[in-house]
Chain A
Amino acid sequence: MSDGPGAELMRSAAVQRWLAHTGYETEAGRRRCLELLGGFCADTGQAPEELVASCFRITKDGDRRISIKGRRAMQEAIESFVAKRGETGHAAVAAGNMLRSFLIHNGVFMQGRASID
């Protein structure tokens, strides 16, 4: 992961936090994580930290709160991204949930659909 598209992502503290805690711990799993997240960042035009921040809101008192609207928009963005990649079935569900894993390990409570069909 020292060069290539993953190198820039690896400089992100949010990405480092993700990879330090996620269960996708094999080399192949991490590569897949970075490949997916890189694609998602490109698709949304947002950096990893911006993706996380969009799931929170700042109240009038300056408190940071989880945002229902932000998370709903994020869910839609993930579904849209996965659909554009052309994946279907279990692979599509798993890809979307891998992206959710990035948000989850950065404090965004979020669930994805389970692959049960």
Chain B
Amino acid sequence: MEFKRVIGTRRTIRYFKPWKPVERAKIQVMLEAANRSSRSINADYPKAVVVNRDDLPMEVRDALRNPTTTADLDLAPTYVFWYTNLNYGDGAQDRLKELVRQGALPASHGWSEAYVDDVVYTQVLKPLLADDAAKGWMGAIETGIAICNALNAGVDEGLGVALHAFTAPDVVKEYCKVPDTWQPTWLMLVGYPAEDPEAGGQRPRRPLSAHFFEGSCDNPWQEDPEVTEYLKREGLIQRPGPLPWRQQEVRMLSRMFGLPE
């Protein structure tokens, strides 16, 4: 799938084919996409544990359920528990110097190994990493970028994906032997969509001018209609929901799975 169409096609899929397992190769694609994400100080922020629903003991699956989460967990065949590694600062100094040697952080932009040792690490990173709030903020953002790559890679592989509240983190921690320094971030549900991949149409979004500005916040971004049309042709902007058949689709899926209507 073309890049723009991947972004335009991604939805939070809520009806999966519970009977159709996800190929391990496709999960690897998603993980590698996460591994290639943009990341400050080239640190290892994202951690993830991949678990197939049917491999989980029933007591763990039951623990994941609470009054608000059951159907999604029943339907998705694969769970990816995403964490933020709060030890991401370990080795940051060496990794930055590695980037200097690679030419990724070049002298043309002021970088040198001495600058990393004497300034960046000691005066910037070390104090930041000692501040739990700042450390958590940075970790969450960088992990989110990685998760986004994984989501889009899943869509590109023809999968349905959804981010879900991370329920029962203590149970998952014990069962999956998760280190103390990993902070639960998102539970990603993965499977083949039982609903049409359009999932009733693209979700409503406010116009660019509501969020983005040019030069100053009193100057909203003005869309170029030709670009908007180009994005429609490329599939980044798609038919808006609800498509005429959406309510019937939801009803039929609910009946198939015995879910509330």
Which residues of A sit under 8 angstroms from B74, Cβ to Cβ? 113-114, 116
Beta-carbon contacts under 8 Å, A62-117 to B: 68, 71-72, 74-75, 90-91, 93-94, 97-98, 100-101, 104, 109-116
Question: Complex formed: what's the CA distance from A59 to B70 in Å?
Answer: 27
Give the shortest distance, in Å, between A19 (CB) and chain B (any CB). Answer: 11
A24 at the interface (CB under 8 A from B): yes
User: Given A111-B68, A112-B71, A116-B19, are A101 and B257 also a contact pair (CB < 8 Å)?
Assistant: no
Question: Complex formed: what's the CA distance from A56 to B168 in Å?
Answer: 22
B258 at the interface (CB under 8 A from A): yes
Interface size class of A (residues with CB under 8 A): 20 to 34
Whether the pair B257, A114 counts as a contact (CB closer than 8 A) is yes
Whether the pair B261, A24 counts as a contact (CB closer than 8 A) is yes
B259 at the interface (CB under 8 A from A): yes
Give the shortest distance, in Å, between B258 (CB) and chain A (any CB). Answer: 4
Whether the pair B70, A116 counts as a contact (CB closer than 8 A) is no
Closest residue to B251 on the A side, CB-wise?
A23
A54 at the interface (CB under 8 A from B): no
Whether the pair B261, A101 counts as a contact (CB closer than 8 A) is yes
Whether the pair A109, B68 counts as a contact (CB closer than 8 A) is yes
Which residues of B sit under 8 angstroms from A22, Cβ to Cβ? 261
8 more contacts with CB within 8 A, not counting A24-B261, A110-B68, A112-B259, are: A90-B258, A91-B258, A94-B258, A97-B259, A98-B260, A98-B261, A112-B258, A115-B258
Residues of A within 8 A of B (CB): 22-24, 68, 71-72, 74-75, 90-91, 93-94, 97-98, 100-101, 104, 109-116
